[in-house]
Structure 1
Amino acid sequence: MPEREILALRQRNAELESRLAQRESDDNLYRFLFDTMDEGFCVIEFFDGPHGPLSDYVHLVANAAYARHAGIANVVGQKLREMVPDEADNWVARYGAVLRTGKPLQFEQELVATGRVLSVTTFRIEPAERRQVAVLFKDVTERRRAEDALQQLNDQLEQRVAEALAERGLFAELVENSVARVQVVDTELRLLAVNHRAVKDFEFLFGHRLKAGDSLPERLANFPAERARSEAMWRRALAGESYIETIEYGRGARLRHFELRFNPLRESSGRITGACLFIYDVTRQVDEQQRRLQAEEALRQAQKMEAVGQLTGGIAHDFNNLLGGMLGAQELLRQRLEQGRLAEIPALLDTAGHSARRAAALVHRLLAFSRRQTLLPQATAVGQLVKDMVVLIHRSVGPAISVQVQCDAQLWPSFIDPPQLESALLNLCINARDALPAGGMIDIKCDNRWLDDSTALALDLPCGPYLCLSVQDNGRGMTQEVQEKAIDPFFTTKPLGQGTGLGLSMAYGFVRQSGGQLQITSSPGAGTRVDLYLPRHGETPIARRPPSEAPAQVQRAAARILLVEDQAALRMVIGDVLEELGHSVERAEHGPAALELLESGYVPQLLISDIGLPAGLDGRQVAERCRARFADLPVLFITGYDQSAAQGDGRLPPRTQVLLKPFELPDLVDRVITLLG
C-alpha cells in the first residue's frame, strides 16, 4: 500500500478515536447525571406474550433512584408480569397507550406492594418500532401525606415536563425534562450544560438567560454578593464534596426558596473535571410550613381566648360583687364622716381596699391568659398559685361540680412561668369539666415527690426531687387509643367548633420546656388523673409586700417629676403622694400638654406616664420626645394593660420600668426611688 494511503488511514483512525473519546466523555457525563439524579428512571420494552400482543414488557435500563423510590432492586432484565402479576394489566394499559399514541402521560400512582405514591411522567422513545417507553418518576408519598394532614391546604404539586427534543440523546432528554433545574460546569465555572428550567429561573432572578459556554461569575457580575456565594458553593463541589444547601433568593413577592444539590464530576481515574447542580424550587413547601405555623399560633391564641370565654360569666358576677362592696363602703364612709363616727372609718377603708385588690387580681389574671408574648420563668410558690386560682376554677367548671384543693404545707418551689402554669391548670380543669356532663368531682393536689431511678426512667426524667401537681376527676375516662393521642396538637374528641384540641398539647409543651413531664392515668368509666411533674428549684420565691403596708417615708433629695395621666382622680392621687415625699410634680392630662411644658423650658428628672393617652400621642411617644431632649431621663410607665404595651420592639429601653394598674402606693414609691437612684 502506498505511503500516502497509509498516512491517510492513520489520520482517519486518529479522527475516529478523537470522536469516540468525545462520545465516551459525553456518555460519562450524562451517565453520571443519570445515576445521581433524585428522580427514578427506567426504559421498558414491550413484547408479545401469552396474554396477547404487547401484553408484557421488560426493564432495559434503570437508575439507582428507581430502587430507592419503587422499592424494587435489580429491576433490569425483569419482566412486569413476573414482578407484579396483580398490577400488570394496569401498568400495561397505561404505558401501552403511550407506546401506541406517542402522547406523553403524567399521573400519580400508589404502589400496592410498598404503599409509596409515585408521580410518573412517561413518553415514547422514537421511533415507535423500537417498542420502548421511558418512565420518569419521583416519590411524593410525604407530600401526599402532608396534604391529607393539612386538609388539602395546598393543591397537588403539578409536574410540567418540556417536550422531548428528538435530536438529543436519551440521557440529555432526561435531564431536559427533569423537574430539577440542572447546571453543569467545568473547573473554570463555565457552563457545560443547563436545562430549560434553570434558564428560566436564572432569568427571573437576575435578568439574564444562561446558555452553554457562559461563565457563571461573569453572568453574576452585577450581583457581587450572589456571585461570591455562588462561587463558594461551586468550589466546594469542585473540591470533591457532595452536599445539599437550602437558600433563598429575591425579596418580597419575588422571594424564592431553593434546595441545591451539588456533586463533583469525575473521570474513571477519579480526577475531578467539573461539577453538577440540581436545584429544586421548594418555595411552595416553605410557604406551606409558614402558613401552618401561623395557623397553629392563631389556634393557640384562640384556645387561650376560649379559656377566657369560659370565665366571662363568673368574672362578671365577681366584678359586680366587688364593685358592690366598694360602692357600699364608700357610701358608708360618707355617712360615718357626716355622723362623726370616725372610729369606724378604718374598717370601711380596709373593706373597700380588699375589694379593689381582688378586682385588680382578676384583671391581671385575665391579661395573663390572653396575652401573646412568652413570659419569663421565675421561682414560684406553686401551692399559693393554685390557691389563688380556686375562684376562677369554680367559675369555669360551674356549680354542678365539686372542686377540692389539697396542697402540702411545705411545698418546694419550682422555676416556671406562672401565667403558663395557670393556663395549663385551667385547661386541665376545663377538660375534667367536659368529662363530667352530669356533674361530679375534681380533686387538685400538690405534693413533693422524689423520683427514684426506675420511676424517673419511666417518665423520661432525671431522678431527683419534683413537685407534682395533679388534677383528677371521676368522669367517663379515656380509652387507651385516646390517651395515646391526647397530647397531639389539634387532636380532640369534642365536636367541630367546640374545642381546638390544644389544651393538653400546650400543657405538655410547657411542662417539658420547664424540665418536667405530663402523665395521664385513665380508663373508661373510672375517671382521669393528669400529673404535672415540675423540677424542684433552689431559690425562694419573692413574697409580695402585704397590701396594708404603708409607703416607706424615705428621705430623698427633692426631684422634678413630670406626670402625664388623663384620669383626673389618679393624677391627683399620684401627684399628692409624690409631693408629700418632697418632690416637685408638674401634671399634664395628655401628651401635647406635657410637650408644651418642655417647650417652655421645664427640665424633668423623672417622667411618669400612662401608656394609653388621648390627643394623638401615647405614652411611648411622649417618652421618645422627652428622651430626644434629655437622653438619660428615667421613665416609669403606668398602664392598665399588660407589660407588653410598653415594649415597642419586645424590649424595654434602659432606665425604664412598668407599673400595672391598679397598683399599691408603696409599689409606686419604690419604683420612683429606684429610678431616681
Structure 2
Amino acid sequence: MGPTASRPAGGGAMGALVRAHAWAATPLGPREHWPPSLVTLVRVMLNSRQPMFIAWGANRTLVYNDTYVPMLGARHPEALGRPFFEVWPEVRDEVGALMDRVFAGDPVHMDDLQLTVNRNGFPEEAHFAFSYTPVPGDDGAVVGLFCACTETTRQVLAERRAVSESLRHRQSLQQMPGFVGILSGPDHVYEYVNDAYVAISGPRDFLGRSVREVFPELTGQGFYELLDQVYASGERFEARAMPIRLAGEDRDRFIDLLYQPMRDAEGRVTGIFVGGYDVTDQVRARVALADSESRYRTLFESIDVGFCVVEMRFDAAGRAVDYRIIEANPAFARQTGADVAGRWVSEFAPDLERHWFDTYGRVALTGEPAHFENRADVFGRWFDVRALRVGPPAAHRVAIFFSDISERKHMEEALRVLNATLEQQVVERTAERNLLATIVERTDVMVMAVDRAFDILAINKANADEFVRAYGFRPKVGDNVLAAFADRPEHQAQVRAGWSRALAGEEVTLIEDYGDPDRVRPSYEITYRSLRDDQGRVVGAYQFVSDVTERLRQQAELVQAQEALRQSQKMEAVGQLTGGLAHDFNNLLAGISGSLELMHTRMQQGRINDVERYMTAAQGAAKRAAALTHRLLAFSRRQTLDPKPTNVNRLVTGMQELIRRTVGPAIAVETVGISGLWPALVDPPQLENALLNLCINARDAMPDGGRITIETANKWLDARAARQQDIPEGQYLSLCVTDTGTGMTPDVIAKAFDPFFTTKPTGEGTGLGLSMIYGFAKQSGGQVRIYSEVGRGTTVCIYLPRHYGPTEEDDHAPRPAAQSRAEQGETVLIVDDEPTVRMLVTDILEDLGYTAIEAADSAAGLKVLQSDVRIDLLVTDVGLPGGMNGRQMADAGRERRPGLKVLFITGYAENAAVGNGHLAPGMAVLTKPFAVNVMAARIREMIETS
C-alpha cells in the first residue's frame, strides 16, 4: 500500500495531529506501513462524531478522535500513540480483563462501567457506555481493538440526584400526618403511598395497580369519575368531610380530600397527587354533639313543664330585690302568659309578691333546693315550683321548673263546693240519668253494650226491635250475644269480629250487611267504642247502629249518574278530537294520494322530470303527518321518549340562534340561566321542541314586537308548594318562557292545554302545541303551569324533576351517515303484521347486502328465533298478533339467544310492552315513519355494537 492510501484524510483537529504525529517512534511504526484494516478504522473513527478510540497491537497503542478528547482531560494530546494503560494506569484492573477478552476474539459491550480516573489532576468518579470490537489481521488473529464509547457520568449522577431527591421527597411525604398517594397515567396507577394511606385503607397491593383494581368497592361512590375529571381537565379537586365506604366497613367514614394534577415540563398532566386526612372522628363527634344539642333543644322546647334560668340581684344587706330571666322555654310563655326572656322581673311584674324573691334568693345563696306551691296574683295563676342553684355560687343563678296547677286548684275548690252540695247534686244527677235513659230508650239509633264475655249489659228498644226484624228473636240484658247465634256460625263470626275490635281497645266505624237473608238483610253503619272503668281498663264495649240501606242506595244512584255524566263528557271530547284529526289528516292524505296519482300519470306519460316535484310534495306531507302523530302521542303521554341526563342551560344556549331566526328581528330574545342548574333526566329533542313551541306562541302574542325571556332556575317544592303545582314534593328545575304580549284571560288559561283549542285564526294553528308540551312534561314526571295577565304578558313554566347524577358534556347523538354495507352472511329477522312495512324493511336490508327473513306474527317470529338459523338482529313491531307482543317475543327469543340484539319499530308507543321506556341492554326503539338512511344507520350501528 502506498503512502497516499495510508494517509488518513479529514478528521478535524485529531486528523491533523494523527497526520503530524511521529509514528515511527511508536509500536505502530510509520503510517505507510500500517495495515489496510488499521488505516480504514482510523479514517472511520476520525470522521465520526461518536467518541471512539483504537487500541492496536500487543502494546495496545492508543489512537482516538476529536470527541474522545474530553474524556482524556489533561492527558491529551500526550496520550496519542502511547500504550493504553500508560495513559489510563488507574483502570488497569477494571478494563484490562475486558481488553484481554476482546484480544481473545470475544466482543464486549457494557451500558454502564463505573471507573475512578485521574484525568485532571485529581481522582473522580466516571461512567461509560461502550462496545469493544476485536479487529482481526490477515491471518485471522486479533491485532487490535475498536471502541465506540459514550461518557454517561453526567446522566448517572443526575439520575442519582433525582433518585435521592425523590427518596427525600417520599421520606417527607412519609412523615406527613395525612395520607398521601401518587397516581400515574389516565388509569391512575399507584406509584407511591405513605403509611397513613395504608392505615386508612388497610394493607393492599398498591404499587403498579390502578385505583379501580385496588379499591373495587368504590364503584358508584364517584371517586373514579372525580379522578378521570381531574386528569382530563387539569383542575384540582378539593372536598371537606367527604363520605367514603371501604370494604368491610358497615358505615361511612369521612375524609378531607385533595386531588392535585401533576404535569411534565410541557405542562401535560401525567398523574395525580392524592392527599388528605381522615376526619371521621371529628365528623362523628360533630354529628353526635349536634344530635345531643338537638335532643336537648327538642326536650327543652317540647316539654309541658315551664323552665327558666334566672339571675338574682341582691342589695347591700344580702336581700334579693330582683331577678332577670336568662333563658326560658316555650312552656314558660304558655304557662305565665309572658314572653320575657332577657328582662328583669321589676320591668314586667313590678307587683310580684315578696315571697318569690325571698325563696329564690335563699336557693341562690345557700344552694338548698326548694319545692312549693304558691299563687302569683300578677299572673292570676297557681304554680307548682321546684328551684335549684346552677353554675358557680357567685353567679347567683337559679333553675326553676314549674307547672301551672290553676286548673287543679279550681277543681279542688269546685270539689269542696260540690261536697257541700252533694245531696242536691245526687238528686239532680239521678234526674239527669233518668232523662238520658229515656232518650236512649226512645231514640231511633240502636244502642247496645256488652262485657268482655259478650254478655249484654244494656240494649235499647230500637236495637231489640231490629233483632226481631232481621233475625226473628229479641235479645235482653244478660243474654250472651254470641250464644244467640250458636246455630248460625257465619252470623256469629261476623258479630264476633266487630265486637272483638272494640273489646281490644279500638274505636272503629263499619258499614256492613246483617240479618237472615230469608227475612231481610239491611246495611248498617255501626260505631264501636270501648267501655272503660275509672282506671281506664277496658271492661266492655258499646255500639251505635243506624240503618243506612236507603242512603247507600241513593249514593250508588249518584255514582251511576256521575259516571254517565263523565262518559258523556268523554264522548264529547273524543268527538272534538276525532273531528280535528280527520280535518288535519284528510288534508295531509290528500297531498300524499294526489302526489302519488300524479307521479303515476306522469310516469305513464313519460314526463319523468315532473316526478321529483310530486315526490317532494308527498314526502313533505308524510313528514307533517308524522309530526302531527308525534304531537298527538305527546298529548296522550304515550310517545316513545329517550330520556338522557341533560344540562338544560346548555340546551337553551344551543337553541338561541334558531329561536332568534324563528321569532324574527322585531322580538328581542334574552336568556337568563342560573349558575349551578340541576340536571334533568329528559328527552332533549322533545324538550327542544317544547321550548321552540313556547317561543313561537310568545311571538304570535306580540304582533308588534316585544321581548321573550327564557329563564332557568332550581326549585325546592315543599308539601304545600307541591300541592299547588300538582306534583310530588322534592327538587325540580324550571324552564320558563315569558313574553310581553297580549296575555290570556282566566277562561283561556283554563282551556289552554285542551287538544285543538286555539285562539289563532283558522288555518294558523292546530291547537296541539301546548297539549304536546303538557303531555311531554307529565310523562317526564313534571308539570306545566301558565301565569298570565291580560295586557301584561304571559309566563309558561315547565317543571322537571332533578336528576341526581352527571350529565353528558356533549351531544353525541348519531346522525344519518352514508349507508354501510352488510358483511358476508349477516342476517336480520323482520317481524311485522303490516306487509307494506315488511316489504319496505326487507328491501332496505337486501339493498345493503343483508339476508332478510320475514315473519307476519309473534308465533312465526319466535319459531325462527328458537331455530338454529343465524340471526344478527331482530327488527320487530311492538304490537303483534299471535298471542304475545314484540317485547314478549324478544324476551322469549333471548332465552335461546342471550345476546340477541333487538330493534323495536313502532308507530304507537306501547310503553307497557317495552318497559315504560326502559329497555334492556342491546335493545333500541325506532319510531314509524322513519327515513331509509336512518333505518340503515341504526341497523348497522346495532349489529356492530359489541
TM-score, scaled relative to structure 1: 0.45
Please say which structure displays the higher CA radius of gyration: 2
TM-score, scaled relative to structure 2: 0.34
